[in-house]
Copies of this chain bind each other. A is one copy, B any other.
Amino acid sequence: MNKNTKEYFMSEAIRLAKGNVLSGNGGPFGAVIVLNNEIISTGVNEVTSSNDPTAHAEVVAIRNACKKLNSFQLDDCEIYSSCEPCPMCLGAIYWARPKKLYFACTKADAAHIGFDDSFIYEEISSHFDKRTIPSENIFRTEGLEAFKAWEIKEDKIEY
């Protein structure tokens, strides 16, 4: 397979996903990040092996790519994920701002093998007081003091 094709990069993400199942490292998910036709980082699901519920393949790959680039932005990068990202990973992707996302399995495929994130999509679209994890808004006035400190700070690094 030609190494500079989207099919090649996706086959690498899928190869990582399969390997992650066989090694017992975590769920069947892998991701690679590509810049200028080169893989600059990879990630696999490490939730159970690292006791980190945020260690989804995409999040791990984003962290690794940012570390390599010394940047909190993935301008001009492409993310290849073996599965359609969950809302957490999508959020991470929007904050990292790559230029394109490719995915192989769909979220329906993931739900079919027990990884159903549709309830998270629904929860996120709901108002906070309608969510299944009870949410309460307290101490807003006190919280705003931190925001005021940010507003008046002159040497802040925006992101």
Q: Is A109 a contact partner of B30 (Cβ separation < 8 A)?
A: no
- Most B C-beta atoms less than 10 A away, residue of A27, A53, A84, A144: A53
Copies of the polypeptide in the assembly: 2
CB pair A51–B67 under 8 Å, yes or no, is yes
Contact B91 A145 (CB under 8 A): no
B105 touches A144 (CB 8 A): yes
Q: Is the CB of A54 within 8 A of B113?
A: no
Q: Which of A20, A74, A92, A123 has the most CB of B within 10 A?
A: A92
How far does the alpha carbon of A63 sit from the alpha carbon of B52 in the complex, in Å?
Answer: 6
A133 and B87 within 8 A (CB):
no
Contact indicator per residue, chain A 91-129, by CB within 8 Å of chain B (1) or not (0): 111111111111111100110111000011101110010
Can you name 13 A-B pairs with beta carbons within 8 Å?
A: A10-B138, A10-B143, A14-B145, A28-B149, A53-B73, A54-B59, A87-B88, A102-B137, A102-B138, A104-B144, A105-B146, A114-B158, A121-B125
When A10-B142, A147-B28 are in contact, do A90 and B92 touch as well, CB less than 8 Å?
no
